[in-house]
Structure formats: C-alpha cells, structure tokens
Amino acid sequence: MSGILSTHHKLHVSEADQGTRLDKYLSEKIDNLSRAKGLKLIQNSSVLINDKTVNPSHRVSLGEVVHILIPDVAPSHLAPWQLKLEVIYEDNWILVINKPAGIAVHPAPGHRDKTIANALINHDSDISRVGENSRPGIIHRLDLETSGLLITAKNEIAHKKISEQFADRKVKKSYYALVIGIPENDIAIIDAPIGRSPFNRQQMDIVSTGKPSVTQYEIVDTYTAHSLLKVSPKTGRTHQIRVHLKSIGHPVVGDSTYGKLEPDLDRQFLHASSLSFNHPESGKLLNFNSDLPIELSRYIERLKSSSNMKDTA
C-alpha cells in the first residue's frame, strides 16, 4: 500500500534562537517552509519538542530538541479550468493577475471548481505542487465579487517569501471602493476589531473580542449621494474593508452581505487597484496598478452625469 512520503528534520535550539515563537523558528530554520505551513504542522501534531506536542504559541528554549515531520507535497487534486487569465506580470517565480469579479480564488462551499486555483493549474501545471493542495499557488485572496490584482506563486520559495511579507505587513495594497453617502472626513483611519458576527456566523462584524483591524481611506471624488474612496487595509481580516466601511455608515455599493444590492450593478464596487511587494528572488520592489474594469467605470460615468444634471438644474 502506498502513502505520502515525509521528510524528517531535527533541530537543537541555540541561545540565539531562544524566545522565538515556534512557527517563526521553523520558517527560519527550514528552507521553503512558511510560517503558515509551520503553524499547520504544529496544529497537526507533526512537530514535537522533547518528544511532546506543544501549543502553536510556544516559544523555544535553549537546549530543546525539535522534531518536524513534513509530508512531501503531492500534486493538487484540482481539475484544470481553461479560463484565460489576464496576466499583468509573469516570470519564473511569480504570476500577478487581474482577477475578475464573480470568480472565487480557491474552492470553498458553493464554489468547488471553476476557481482561480483551477485556472492557475491550467496556465502552468507545475503550480499544482506549490502551496496547499486545495489552493495551489495561492498566497492571498480577494472576495468573490471583488476584482483586481492578485499575486500567485510559481514555486515554493516564492510562496514562502511572499507569504512572509504578508505576515509582516510589508505588502502594500489599495482598493477603489464606491460607497453610499459622503464620509465626514476626507481622510481617516478606521481602527476597530473584527470577528465573527454573534448574530450570523456567515458574516464578520465589529466585536470586542475580534482581531485588531486597521483600514485607512481617503475620498477620491464625490457625487450626489455616493463617494469614491481609495482604501488601504493595514491588516488582512476577512471582509475587512466591507465591514469597516459599513461600521461608519457608508457600505460598499452593491454589497449584498453588508449593504444592499444595486439594481444597475451586478457586483459590489470594490477593486484591488494597486500592489507593491519585494520580488522573492531579487528583492526588487515591484509596483502594479489596475484600472477600474469597464462595468465599474461606466457606473461612475452615470453617477457623474446624474450629478452634473442636478448641479445645472
């Protein structure tokens, strides 16, 4: 009977490393292992310290012996999907694409196939061995109805290094969001913890026990009853931008979960417009920008036209 092969590592904690959180220690000592993967190994009892399982928050101590069993990566079981990706940039390390609205980044309940992950395997079959089996190549995600820039990895080193940049909040992102109403301040920071809603477990909300969450926004333009914002999340919580904007009374236009549907727009008005991060091989700072897709730019033009008509009435 065949099984998945595993690689064993044995580490001895030195004085220089003591006090380091275990998942960080593993990522620093083992090539191509990200903190996220290290955390999963700990949670799956694949990491032993002095022959005992430990909590993920454990900090290593001088003299401890760490055993790590890492299953070899099997190709993803996902089926390729022949979606033509809009490639913004590609080399042997990374692939930056423009994700359309209405397509999930990876399989999830209700979206088992025809995701960006399936399309990545079709684009380059080697990506099937990068990252998690159920989400090959995926480093971060965009919501189903959000469009825009998405970074994907083409090898394990790239996956690890860019994942670490996200964990260390070194990746800079901004979005265009059209909201209902006009915020009181032209520029502001929303600092409010986000967690699962106590009333609807399928939604997120501002809750005192939530994770620290920070979003900055500035007004780009205003119309009669709407505002176009440039939004920069400083943390990466689920639905962060949508929850934070709702919390100040200005939900994203077309957001059926945290606002309401918009009859003239078949998606939410949220677009990942800029990304900057360091290349995993060269370390060079890369900057990418994405214009509003045509359905969003046309919606803005209609708002401008309506506002101008009211101004001249």
Q: How far apart are CA 185 and CA 300, in angstroms?
A: 21
End-to-end CA distance of the chain: 80
pLDDT value, residue 92: 94
Query: In this predicted model, what pLDDT tens digit does every residue of 256-273 receive, in sequence order?
Result: 999 999 999 999 999 999
What mean pLDDT do residues 112-131 have? 91
What mean pLDDT do residues 85-95 have? 97
Q: Does domain 75-168 have CATH number 3.30.2350.10?
A: yes
Q: How far apart are CA 296 and CA 280, in angstroms?
A: 33
Ranges of CATH 3.30.2350.10 domains, the chain: 75-168, 171-279+293-313
Please, which residues have CB within 8 angstroms of residue 107's CB and are 6 or more apart in sequence?
A: 78, 113, 115, 117, 118, 134, 135
Q: How far apart are CA 258 and CA 40, in angstroms?
A: 31
Q: Which CATH class is domain 6-71?
A: alpha beta
Question: What is the rounded average pLDDT for all residues in the chain?
Answer: 91
- pLDDT band per the 50, 70, 90 thresholds, residue 3: very low
What mean pLDDT do residues 168-189 have? 97
Active site residue 143: yes
Selected catalytic residue, list 23, 143, 205, 255: 143
Share of the chain above pLDDT 70, in %: 95
Which two structure tokens, joined as six digits, stand for 104? 């999930």
Which CATH architecture is the domain 171-279+293-313 placed in?
2-Layer Sandwich (3.30)
Residue 151 has pLDDT above 50, yes or no: yes
What is the H or E stretch that residue 166 is in? Answer: helix 156-167
